[in-house]
Amino acid sequence: MKNLKKQDPKIYNAIKNEIKRQEEGLELIPSEIAASIPVMEALGSVLTNKYSEGYPYKRYYGGQENTDIVESIAIERAKKLFGVPHANVQPYSGSPANLAVYVAVCKPGDTVMGLNLLDGGHLTHGWKASATSMFYNTIPYHVKPDGRLDLEEIERLALKHKPKLIWVGATAYAREFPFEKIAKIADKVGAYLAADIAHIAGLVIAGVHKSPAKYAHIITTTTHKTLRGPRGGMIMVTTKGLKKDPELAQKIDRAIFPNLQGGPHNHQTAAIAVALGEAMKPSFKKYGQQVVKNAKALAAELMKSGIKLVSNGTDNHLMLIDCGKGRGVLLQDAMGMAGMTVNKNTIPLDPSTPFYPSGVRLGTPSLTVRGMKEKEMKKIAGWIAEVMEEIKTFEFPEDKEERIAALKKFKAYIGKNKKLKSIKSEIKNLCKKFPLYKDLNW
């Protein structure tokens, strides 16, 4: 980055510090991962200079001979990896991809169903703060007390409300999705079934999570989570989707361009193509398998320490710690001080609010990319248990005025806590044995 260092040292230093933060700490946020160097090289390429409104070989601008090749490669790789007849790789990210599904198959005011946000669902599946609830009649479904999808409720709501579209997918769900069972419900009421596999796309490719390709009509995903690509999105139409509506592929493409987006980000498309190429290698399957092994090992060790997990374990790459009412922010900040990055998160039937939730979400993709295995998960679980022990006497205040003072006092406490500093030092030493980028010369 010598040119950046000379041109804009403030931005250069921020990036250098971020590299240091990622290298010296443990990234436990399950939606985050370290993209490979080839992916980042493609993302930083001259393809960012080119406008390419339209689709390969059907553009509105000249000079597309190279961008057409890049996008066609990305499309063909996506189709092969997920076993689908149609793929659109232009969505800027996951949320625009999901909005395009609404535009393609629904009219404003149509009824849609999705997992409730507080139960682990995503904003774009109809949550009240999302634009999707402004334009569509959204009916949320929930999980049972054991943390698994309430299939009986889903069927009851579907029969009652006759939705046009049903979403299956989540942002904080630790169990395998029962695609075939929800598909039967969708078929019974004539609804489109859209599987949002943003979190598990890499696991599906690796064969450690069931694929929705046989059951859903539409599949959406981000490309920057377990898929280990750049920040981006994809929409795929399945064979089942084309049987339901032979024009579904064209409707999806039209929803992306020109309905919602302009020119695609060609540098992003190239990086997606590179990531999909990496996902075709045998090493990617081993990585996906290890992600799940690590998650199961971490969850088991946490529960051995007496830490409560939503659904008592995991089937995939993530888990949710139940910290007690409103205490998610306390554990998030304390773990951050100890060198472990996580995110506060709601839990099912959360007694607190989304801003001060009662849970913490954590996962293993980034740890696995570094080469860590079950042995390291045991150490990490021990550190998490130690952090929780250090903050166990702090309670989350109900009163808003008391809360400000209490949180300020808490941050001062963890900032001076010797145990947290000691853990951070131990984590730094562990990370030296598992460098994030062995050949990064920035």
Q: Residue 262 falls within a domain, yes or no? A: yes
Active-site residue, 184 included: no
pLDDT of res. 400: 83
Distances (CA, A) of 221 to 78, 93, 362: 11, 8, 20
Active-site residue, 222 included: yes
Other beta carbons less than 10 A from residue 68's beta carbon: 16
Strand (E) positions, 50-189? 54-55, 58-59, 86-88, 111-115, 137-141, 165-169
16, 24, 51, 341: which is the annotated catalytic residue? 51
Domain co-membership, 161 together with 194: yes
Q: Residue 438 falls within a domain, yes or no? A: no
23, 53, 153, 176: which is the annotated catalytic residue? 53
Tell whether pTM > 0.75: yes
Strand (E) positions, 299-414? 318-322, 340-341, 343-345, 359-363
Task: Domain of residue 48: give its range.
Answer: 41-279
Domain co-membership, 261 together with 299: no
How far, in Å, CA of 24 to CA of 429, rounded?
8
Q: 441 pLDDT band (50/70/90 cuts)?
A: low
Please report the sign of the dihedral spanned by the C-alpha atoms of residue 205, residue 38, residue 362, residue 151. Answer: negative
The domain total for the chain is: 2
**Residue 253: both structure tokens together:** 């493409």
DSSP bridge partners of 318 = 363
Please say whether the beta carbons of 378 and 301 come within 8 A: yes
77, 175, 225, 228: which is the annotated catalytic residue? 225
- List the CATH number of the domain containing 222: 3.40.640.10
- Residues 408-422 have pLDDT tens digits of 999 999 999 999 999
Domain co-membership, 313 together with 275: no
Active-site residue, 399 included: no
Q: Residue 358 falls within a domain, yes or no? A: yes
Active-site residue, 379 included: no
Q: Which residues contact 355 (CB under 8 A, 6 or more apart)?
A: none
Q: 101 pLDDT band (50/70/90 cuts)?
A: very high
231, 325, 373, 378: which is the annotated catalytic residue? 231
Give the mean pLDDT of 222-229: 97
Active-site residue, 196 included: yes
- List the CATH number of the domain containing 405: 3.90.1150.10
- Residues 268-287 have pLDDT tens digits of 999 999 999 999 999 999 99
111, 221, 222, 346: which is the annotated catalytic residue? 222
27, 71, 196, 315: which is the annotated catalytic residue? 196
Active-site residue, 221 included: no
